[in-house]
Structure 1
Amino acid sequence: MPEQLWLPKLETRSPPTDGLFFAVYPDANTAAGIAKLAQQLCVEAQARSRVRGKPLAVDRLHVTLRHLGNFAGGLPADVVEAAKRAAALVSMAPFTVEFDAVASFAKRPRPGPVVLVGEHSVRGLHALHDALEAGLEAGGIEPDARFTPHLTLAYGLPWIGRRPAEPVCWNVREFALMHSLLGQSRHIVLARWPLVGQR
C-alpha cells in the first residue's frame, strides 16, 4: 500500500463579522434629500443600461472618517478603547460640509458604488480626519493617511464620469464611532462626540 502523503493543516481564518469606523451623518432632512438622489440615479441606470442598483437606506447614509478594521467574532476591546481615547482628544468647532458632484468609485467600465464628492467645501472633513488620525497614532494604532471624503449613494451602478450635482450641504456638529454588523446592513452607534470648538 503506497505511503500517504502528509500535508500540514492549513490555517482557516474565520470570515470577518464586525467592522469599526468613525463617521459623520447628515441631519434627517438632508439625508432624505440624499436618499431621493440615490433612488433617482438607480432609476436612470436601469433605464439606460437595465442595471438595477441598490440605493443605501436613508439611515445608513454617512461619510466614513476613518475605517479601523474588520474583525471576526466581535470587536476587540483594546481597539475600541483606543478609538474612544483618540476621539476624546479632538477639539474642533462645528463646520459646514458640501458635496457638489457624483462619481463612480469603481474602475471603468465595471459597475460599483456611486458617491457624492466635493472639493473645497470638504476641508472640515479633512481636518476632522487628521485630528482623529493624530490621536489614533498616539494610541498605537497604525496610521492611515488615505482619505477621500465621499458619501456612498448606491452600489452596483454602471461606471459614470464625475459630473456636477445639486449641492448637498449640512452642518457637522458631531461625529460617531460605529459598529458595523457585516452582511447585515446594520450600524450600531458605540459613542458620539460633539464638536464644541477649540479649548
Structure 2
Amino acid sequence: MNGRAGKETDMSATDRLFFALFPPAATAARIYALQQDLRVRHGLWGRALAMDRLRVTLSHLGDYVGLPPAIVAKAHEAASRVHAPAIDIAFDRALSFAGRERNMPFVLRNSEGASAVQALQRELGKAMALSGLGKFVRPYTPHMTLLYDSNDISEQFIDPVTWQCTEFRLIHSMLGQTRHVTLGAWQLGESAAVATPLLAAE
C-alpha cells in the first residue's frame, strides 16, 4: 500500500518525489570540481552530493512509503500545464545555510537573486495546486546544494557558474539508496510543456 509518511505513522519513508532543474553534463563536471576544491579549502568532510545529483530543486512533492502512482499522475498533469521560457542560471557565491547544529547545507547562490527560477517555481506551484497536489507556492530561495557539513562557512564570491536550462524534471528518489530516477522531463522555451516521460535512471 502506498502512503504518505509522517509523524502519525511509524512507517519509514522509502521514496521521495520532487521537481528540479539539472545542469548539462559539462557544467555539472565543473560544479563538481568546484565542490571538491571548496571542500579542501574549508576542511569540509561531510556528505557531498554526487555529480549526477547536483541540481536546483523547484518543489518537493513529499516522502512516501512506496511510489504513489496517483501522485505521479497528478505531477505529470501539473507539469504539462507549465509554459515558461528557458532560464539562464548563474551562481556566483558559495555559503552555508545556517540554522542547523549539524549537516548544514553548503550551497551555491546568486548575489542578484534568481527571479526567473522563482517565477518558474511559482507557476509550477500554481499548476500543482490546480492538479490537486495542494498549495506549493512558498517562499523560495533558488540554490544548489553541494554538500552537508557541521562547519558554518560565510558567504564568498566564486567565478560564476552559468548555464541555460531548457527543461525541468520530475525525480523519484529512492531514500537510502542514493539513487534517482527521472519520471518525466518538460521543455522550457518555445516548445514548453512537451513531455519526455519515463527517462532512464539517473
Superposition pairs for residues 47-196 of structure 1, below 5 Å? 51-72=44-65, 74-107=66-99, 110-120=102-112, 122-144=114-136, 145-196=138-189
Alignment: residue pair count? 184
Q: Give the whole-Å Cα distance in 1 for the aligned partners of 2:111 and 2:75.
A: 28
The Cα shift of 1:55 comes to 2.4
Distance 1:162 1:45 in 2: 12
Q: Which runs of 5+ in 2 are unaligned?
A: 1-7, 193-202
1:20 is the counterpart of 2:17 = yes
The letter of the residue matching 1:171 is: Q
Q: Secondary structure at the match of 1:26?
A: coil
Identity among equivalent pairs (%) = 41
1:123 to partner: Cα distance: 1.6
Runs of at least 5 residues in structure 1 that lack an aligned partner in the other structure? 1-10
Q: Is the 8 A contact 2:93 2:156 kept in 1?
A: yes
- On the 8 A contact 1:22/1:66 being kept in 2, the answer is yes
Give the greater-gyration-radius structure (CA).
1
Question: What is the SS of the residue equivalent to 2:184?
Answer: strand
1:12 Cα deviation (Å)? 4.9
Contact 1:99–1:122 (CA under 8 A) maintained in structure 2: no
User: CA 1:184/1:198 → structure 2, altered by over 3 Å: closer, same or farther?
Assistant: closer
Q: Which runs of 4+ in 1 moved over 3 A?
A: 108-111
- Tell me the TM-score normalized by structure 2: 0.84
Amino acid at match of 2:134: E
Paired with 1:197 and 1:32, the residues of 2 have a C-alpha distance of 28
TM-score where L is the length of structure 1: 0.85
Cα distance in 1 for residues equivalent to 2:42 and 2:103: 11
Give the Cα–Cα distance (whole angstroms) in 1 for the partners of residues 49 and 102 of structure 2: 19
Q: Structure 1, residues 23-59: CA drift from partner, whole Å, max 9, x if none?
A: 010011111110011111211232xxxx523321110
Deviations 1:118-177, CA, capped at 9 Å, x for gaps: 143522211111111111111122213132111011122510112211111100100000
Cα drift, residue 112 of structure 1: 1.9
Q: Contact (CA 8 Å) 1:111, 1:159: kept in 2 or not?
A: no
Whether the aligned pair in 2 keeps the contact of 1:110 and 1:159 (CA below 8 Å) is no
Q: Is the 8 A contact 1:112 1:156 kept in 2?
A: yes
Instruction: Give the equivalent residue in structure 2 for 1:4.
Output: none
Measured at CA, do residues 99 and 180 of structure 1 come closer, stay the same or move farther in structure 2, by a change above 3 Å? same
